[in-house]
Amino acid sequence: VQLQASGGGLVQPGGPLRLSCKASGFTWDDYAIGWFRQAPGKEREGVSCISSIDGSRIYATSVKGRFTISRDNAKNTVYLQMSSLKPEDTAVYYCAAGRPGPDLWGWEDEYDYWGQGTQVTVSS
C-alpha cells in the first residue's frame, strides 16, 4: 500500500498551490481520501475529505472557500487545490485513506493508510 503526496513548496501569501496524492496497493473505490496538515508545534488537523461513494466533500472551516478537493478515479489520485494561501497554512500536508464514520472525517484514527507528507510554506 502506498500513498504518495507531492506538490508542496514555497509560495507567496495569496498564491495558489496544488497538492497531489497518488494511491496504489488497495481498492481505491472503497476508501475516502482525506488531507491533514501539521504545523510546527501543533497537532495534526483535518483539512478536507472526499468520499469514494458519491464524491461528497467536506472542508475545515479555516480553508472553506479557499481549498478544493477532487479525485480522479482513473488515476487513483486526489488533488487539493489551494488558493489565497496564508502564512498560517504553512504545514506538512498528509493524505490518508480510510472509511471515516459520519462526522468523523477529521479523526486520524479513522484512516488506515497514510502518505509521507509534503511541506507547504507560505511566506514572502
pLDDT of residue 54: 85
Residue with cell 495534526: 44
Q: What is the mean pLDDT of each run of 10 residues along the chain (124 residues)?
A: 95 98 91 96 96 91 97 94 98 96 91 96 97
Give me the pLDDT at residue 9, please.
97
Yes or no: say if 60 and 106 are a contact pair by the CB < 8 Å rule.
yes
Residue 63 grid cell: 480553508
Q: What confidence score (pLDDT) does residue 124 get?
A: 95
Inter-residue contact 49 to 55 (CB < 8 Å)? no
- Label residue 91 exposed, middle or buried (CB < 10 Å: 0-12, 13-18, 19+): buried
Residue 6, pLDDT score? 97
**H, E, C per residue of the chain:** CEEEEECCEEECCCCCEEEEEEEECCCHHHCEEEEEEECCCCCCEEEEEECCCCCCEEECCCCCCCEEEEEECCCCEEEEEECCCCHHHCEEEEEEEECCCCCCCCCHHHEEEECCCEEEEECC
